[in-house]
């Protein structure tokens, strides 16, 4: 498995805008290969419908088959993501299709919202007192910063390092599965540099009629 994979294919970008396929990719945070049946079981989805999404992720190059095991008359195919980190080439995707990019950016919000609502509905619908079960579980942060580009990059690196520490924990007794989602985006545009201003002026001169 590669460390990074940059999405440049619009078909692959469309897959990242489909909630079911995003959830499939999220399952592989432990870097363990899975069959389509195992994925369906973990997600609680219909096996046939889930298998279709797995095939599409393979077709667009986001999943790859890494092993085949024969058990009696059954052939099991094991899959894993093409890389540990899958990222979108932002400029190309904006030029190709801004709507698709918007869908990709908001899909994690939608999948996270659905997971949260399922958890809250379970809390409300339970016949038992589940207050102890949910004690010290939910956490929420909303913060605004003033950061230079270097400080922004350092913040992202610090968060990534911290997450890597906890992502290394295995699914063992005494641990429950949590979902963490964070997003960082600028509220104000970047100030133009002197170089960019000079380049813009030169381009303007080239476009003036003779």
The topology under which CATH files domain 2-138 is Arc Repressor Mutant, subunit A (1.10.10)
**Residues contacting residue 7 through CB under 8 Å, at least 6 positions apart:** 13, 16, 62, 86, 87, 88, 89, 93
**Helix 98-125 / helix 19-26 crossing angle, nearest 10 deg:** 70
Structure tokens at 24: 């499939």
Mean pLDDT of 100-124: 69
pTM comes to 0.48
Q: Are 17 and 103 in contact (CB under 8 A)?
A: yes
Which of 11-20, 48-57, 195-204: highest mean pLDDT? 48-57
Q: What is the C-alpha separation between 168 and 83, in angstroms, rounded?
A: 17
Nearest to 81 by CA among 11, 3, 8: 3
Mean pLDDT of 60-72: 91
| pLDDT band for position 193 (cuts 50, 70, 90) | low
**Residues contacting residue 177 through CB under 8 Å, at least 6 positions apart:** 171
Question: Which pLDDT belongs to residue 97?
Answer: 59
Question: Which pLDDT belongs to residue 1?
Answer: 77
Question: Which pLDDT belongs to residue 16?
Answer: 81
3-class DSSP state of 110: helix
Q: Average per-residue pLDDT in the chain?
A: 78
Domain boundaries defined on the chain = 2-138
DSSP state of 187: S
Question: Which pLDDT belongs to residue 65?
Answer: 93
95 versus 186: which is more confidently predicted?
186
pLDDT tens, residue by residue, 116-162:
777 777 666 666 666 666 667 777 777 888 999 899 889 988 988 88
Nearest to 60 by CA among 5, 11, 2, 6: 11
């Amino acid at each position: 498995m590669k460390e990074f994979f940059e999405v440049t294919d619009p078909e692959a970008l469309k897959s990242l805008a489909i909630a079911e396929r995003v959830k499939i990719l999220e399952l592989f945070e432990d870097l363990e290969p899975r069959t389509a049946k195992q994925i369906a079981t973990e997600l609680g989805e219909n096996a046939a419908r889930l298998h279709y999404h797995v095939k599409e992720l393979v077709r667009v190059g986001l999943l790859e088959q890494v092993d085949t095991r024969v058990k009696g008359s059954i052939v099991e195919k094991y899959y894993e993501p093409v890389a540990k980190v899958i990222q979108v080439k932002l400029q190309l995707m904006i030029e190709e299709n801004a709507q698709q990019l918007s869908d990709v950016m908001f899909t994690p919000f939608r999948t996270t919202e659905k997971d949260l609502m399922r958890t809250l509905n379970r809390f409300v619908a339970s016949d038992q007192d589940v207050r102890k079960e949910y004690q010290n579980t939910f956490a929420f942060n909303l913060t605004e910063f003033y950061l230079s580009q270097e400080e922004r990059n350092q913040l992202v690196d610090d968060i990534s390092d911290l997450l890597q520490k906890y992502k290394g924990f295995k699914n063992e007794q005494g641990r429950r599965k949590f979902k963490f989602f964070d997003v960082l985006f600028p509220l104000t545009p970047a100030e133009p540099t002197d170089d960019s201003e000079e380049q813009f002026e030169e381009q303007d001169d080239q476009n003036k009629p003779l």
